[in-house]
Amino acid sequence: MTFGSAVRLLPVLFATLFLWPISTINSRAADAAFTRFLAGVWPDAQARGISRAVFDAAVRGLEPDLSLPDLVLPGRPERPAPGQAEFVQTPADYLKERSFDRLAAHGRKLLAEHRSALTRIEREFGVPATIVLAIWGRETDFGRHKLSRDAVRVLATQAYVGRRKDFFRNEFLAVLGLLQRGVPRNVLKSSWGGALGLTQLLPSEIDKYAVDFDGDGRADIWNSVPDALAAAARQLVAKGWRRGEPWAYEARVPARADCTLADPDAPAPLAEWMRRGFTLAHGRVARAEERAQPASLLLPAGIYGPGFLIFANYYVIKEYNFSDLYVLFVGHLADRIEGERSFERPWDAVTQLRTAELEDMQRRLSALGLYTDKIDGKAGMKTRLAVGAYQKANGLTLDCWPTAATLGHLRGRTGR
C-alpha cells in the first residue's frame, strides 16, 4: 500500500473506530434515561395495586419506539400525528363513496348476524345498532384490520417523549393494570396512540366501559363482538348520548346562504332553519318532535360540499374521536347500513393547507380577534368560521375555507 492510498483510507478508519462507538454510547445513554423513567413510574404503579412481578415483567428489556409520531425528540423535527393536516385527507378524499359502499354492505350482514346482541344494546343503552356498527367499521374495518404494535411499549414511549406525557403516563399505568388483572400481553396490540380492541378504547376507557355482554364471565373487547359494541355504546352514553334523537341530517343549503351561519355556538331549533330556507336532503321530512330540537349548521368544506344540520348526538360521537370528518364518516356509514342513500350534494375537490400554514393563519386571525380557539393547524369548525368572518370583512370571496389566497391576504395585511 502506498503512502497516498493509506492517507485516503484515514477517514474510513476514523469513522469505523470512533463514530460507531459514539453512536452506540448515545443509544445507551438514551436507553439509560428510559430505564430511569420506567423506574420512576413504579411508585405510581404500586399505588394502583400493580405487583412488582407484573411491573418488572412488563418493562424488562423494554425499549422506546422512536418511530411513533407525535414524539418530541432533541435534534429531530417533531413528526406530526396522523390526525394533523398533512395526514388528514380533504372531505372529498376521506368520505369516498366506494368506502361507504364496501363497509355498508358488510355492516348489513353483521347487523343480521348479531341482531340479538344489537337489539339488547339498543334497548339497554339507547344507542342505535347502526352507530356502534359504524364505529367498529371505521376503527378496525369490522375487525379485519389487525393491530400490530405492543401497547405497553407504545404507551411507555408516549409517556416518556410524547407531546402529551401526563395523559399517556396515566394510560401506561392503566395498561399495566390490565396486565395485573390477567389480560395476556400478546392481546394488547394497539394503534400508535395506544387504543385497543375492536372499537379502539384506551386502557383507562376499558376500566370504565368494558362489560361482559355475552355472559361468558369476562369483558373481552378484543374477541367478543357483543362485549366490544356494548362497551362503545356505554362510552357514548357516558358522554351524553340522547336516546331517540338523530345525530345529523344532510341539508339543502339555500344558494345565497351566508356560510358564517355555520357557527357551532349559534344553534337554533330545526324549525328555525326551515324558516330560513333550509330543507332536508333527499326530501326527508323531520318528525314533529325533531323540529324543536336545537341544531347547528356544519359546512365541512365551506361552500364546496354538502351542508349538515347537526344535533347534540353529533358532538357525542365527536367525543369518541375529535374530528368532524370522523363523525361524518361514522354517522353517514350508520345511515348507509340502515339503507340511506349517498350524500345528495357531492364534494368538490379542495386544497388543504399544510399544518404550518394553518397555524400561521390561526395566529393571524387570533391577533385580529376573529379566532379564539387553540392553535392546532386543523381546519376545524371555528377556524372555518373565523376565515369566513375575515373574508366578509375584507370583501374577499366568501367560501369559509382556508385557502392560500386568504392566507396571502392575511399576510399582506398583518405582515410576514
- Residue 86 banded pLDDT, cuts 50, 70, 90: very low
The residues with which 298 forms a beta bridge, in sequence order, are 308
**Any residues with CB less than 8 A from the CB of 139 and at least 6 apart, and which?**
195, 198, 199, 200
Instruction: Indicate the pLDDT class of residue 150, thresholds 50, 70 and 90.
Output: very high
Residue 4 cell numbers, joined: 497516498
| Mean pLDDT computed over every residue of the chain | 90
pLDDT at 16 over 90: no
Span of 24-28, 111-115, 180-184 with lowest mean pLDDT: 24-28
d(CA 36, CA 399): 52
Residues 298-357: pLDDT tens digits? 999 999 999 999 999 999 999 998 889 999 999 999 999 999 899 999 999 899 898 899
Beta-sheet strands, E only, within 126-221: 149-150, 189-190
CATH for the 355-414 domain, from 2.70.150.10, 3.40.309.10, 1.10.101.10, 2.60.120.380? 1.10.101.10
Q: Is 373 left (phi over 0), alpha (psi -120 to 50) or beta?
A: beta
pLDDT value at 29 more than 70: no
Q: pLDDT by residue (tens digit) across 52-76?
A: 999 999 999 999 999 998 788 876 6
Let me know the angle formed at the C-alpha of 262 by 395 and 309, rounded to the nearest 5 degrees. 150
Tell me the pLDDT tens digit for each residue of 237-262: 999 999 999 999 999 999 999 999 99
Q: What is the pLDDT of residue 28?
A: 54
For residue 183, what are the CA distances in angstroms to 176, 199, 240, 351?
10, 17, 29, 45
Integer angstrom CA distances of residue 265 from 132, 262, 294, 390: 27, 9, 11, 18
Mean pLDDT of the region 362-368: 97
* CA separation for the pair 330, 247 (Å, rounded): 10
- DSSP character string of 72-85: -BTTBPPPPPTTST
pLDDT at 31: 81
Domain residue extents for the chain? 26-63+151-191, 355-414
Q: Is 357 exposed, middle or buried (0-12, 13-18, 19+ CB in 10 A)?
A: middle
- Residue 399 predicted with pLDDT over 60: yes
Q: Work out the number of other CB atoms within 10 angstroms of the CB of residue 59.
A: 21
Best CA proximity match to 190, nearest among 158, 224, 236, 229: 158
Contact 196, 221 (CB under 8 A): yes
As a whole number, mean pLDDT of residues 156-183 equals 96
Four-residue CA torsion sign, 392, 394, 398, 403: negative
Strand stretches in 163-299, DSSP E:
189-190, 248-252, 268-269, 279-280, 294-298
